[in-house]
Amino acid sequence: MPEFSSLETGQVVAQREFPVTRDSLVRYAGASGDFNPIHYRDDVASQVGLPGVLAHGMLTMGLAIQPVLSWLEDSGEVVDYSVRFTKPVVVPATGEAVVSVVATVAAMDEENSKVRVDLTTTFEGNTVLGKAQAWVKF
Amino acid sequence: MLNPEIQGKRYPRTRPYTVGLEKLREFSAATFGNTADGFVVPPTFPIAIQEHSLSLVIADPEAGLDFSRVVHGEQRFIYERQLVPGDELTSELEVASVKSLGGNHMVTFNTEIFDKQDKLVCTAISTLVVRGEDA
């Protein structure tokens, strides 16, 4: 398990790739209650001018924090988590959209034993979450 | 058309929502998280509570929020403590700001989530972009 004293700014603490499929979107719709059809119907997505069926922004936000939770185990907890949704993740009818997350220590708050972890979250080479920052309290 | 006059408006407290262990497990699985015993409560789960408050805004004719024109711009959660199964949570939403940007509006909602003892558990801050009529 990570210890606060062993961390330093710039350190990559976790990374993971997530294969997002249409199944993932249906599962998230059910779990979250967000049944907006742009997240599962191609015809509706194209009617409103989207490039295709999109992953829920909140699904991307939800998965992006997972590498941090796995890294932390019981050593700390997320006390503040924020993102900007900068680009959509288009999920094809078959196959998968791979979302990649790299978690890096960006700031240390020695006084409060808190660490800011920034989540570089990309899809097809584009950043899909801007200013994705989680404060972790140790 | 979004009514800028709703800035500062507070919506009534929602009915209690009981957090269920299996609901949390389902949400964790749906966000590619752990589902083994002792799994961490998914940090974005409070969105489900925020949703109840947001539905009051959508149903409010004064607000004029057309949800088919809405894009999620930003989201933040500030946690006072972790949620636990069995929590009975209510929420109260305030329209923190309404800004115009080109033909679009940006509206920010602050939703405070309270436990049964009326203690603040989490603040969910959501910024939505409402596309203009001709955008």
- Answer whether A2's CB lies under 8 Å from A14's CB: no
Asked if the C-beta of B21 comes within 8 angstroms of chain A's C-beta atoms, the answer is no
Asked if the C-beta of B64 comes within 8 angstroms of chain A's C-beta atoms, the answer is no
- Specify the pLDDT at position A40: 96
- Specify the pLDDT at position B101: 84
Mean per-residue pLDDT for B33-55? 96
Q: A-chain residues within 8 Å CB-CB of B76?
A: 80-83
Element (H, E) at B104: strand B104-114
Does the pLDDT at position B134 exceed 90? no
Nearest CA in chain B to A61: B44
Domain extent listing, chain A: 4-21+55-137
Mean per-residue pLDDT for B46-60? 96
- Specify the pLDDT at position B133: 67
Would the CB atoms of B47 and A81 count as touching at under 8 Å? Answer: no
Mean pLDDT (chain A, rounded): 96
Q: Is B80 helix (H, G, I), strand (E, B) or coil?
A: coil
Q: Is B92 helix (H, G, I), strand (E, B) or coil?
A: strand
**Residue A22 binned pLDDT confidence (cut-offs 50, 70, 90):** very high
Give B6's DSSP letter. Answer: G
Name which residue leads in pLDDT, B70 or A93. Answer: A93
Q: In CATH terms, is domain A4-21+55-137 a member of 3.40.190.10? A: no
Give A22's DSSP letter. Answer: H
Q: How high is the ipTM of this complex?
A: 0.96
Would the CB atoms of A32 and B74 count as touching at under 8 Å? Answer: no
- Specify the pLDDT at position B135: 45
Nearest CA in chain B to A77: B82
Asked if the C-beta of B51 comes within 8 angstroms of chain A's C-beta atoms, the answer is yes
Q: Where are the alpha helices (DSSP H) in B14-85?
A: 21-30, 47-58
Q: Domain B4-130 maps to which CATH number in 3.40.1440.10, 2.40.50.140, 3.10.129.10, 3.20.20.30?
A: 3.10.129.10
Nearest CA in chain B to A58: B44
pLDDT in tens, A48-98: 889 999 999 999 999 999 999 999 998 999 999 999 999 999 999 999 999
pLDDT in tens, B78-132: 999 999 999 999 999 999 999 988 889 999 999 999 999 999 999 999 999 998 7
Would the CB atoms of B72 and A63 count as touching at under 8 Å? Answer: no
Would the CB atoms of B44 and A61 count as touching at under 8 Å? Answer: yes
Asked if the C-beta of B73 comes within 8 angstroms of chain A's C-beta atoms, the answer is yes
Q: How far apart are alpha carbons A49 and B77 in whole angstroms? A: 30
**Residue B14 binned pLDDT confidence (cut-offs 50, 70, 90):** very high
- Specify the pLDDT at position A39: 95
User: B19, B44, B122, B127: best mutation site toward chain A, by most A Cβ within 10 Å?
Assistant: B44
Question: Tokens in use for A126?
Answer: 């584009």
Domain extent listing, chain B: 4-130
Distance from CA of A32 to the nearest CA of B (A): 6
Contacts of residue A42, defined as CB under 8 A and 6 or more positions apart, other chains included, come to A52, A53, A93
Lowest model confidence (mean pLDDT) among A32-46, A77-91, A99-113, B17-31: A32-46
- Specify the pLDDT at position B68: 78
Would the CB atoms of B82 and A77 count as touching at under 8 Å? Answer: yes
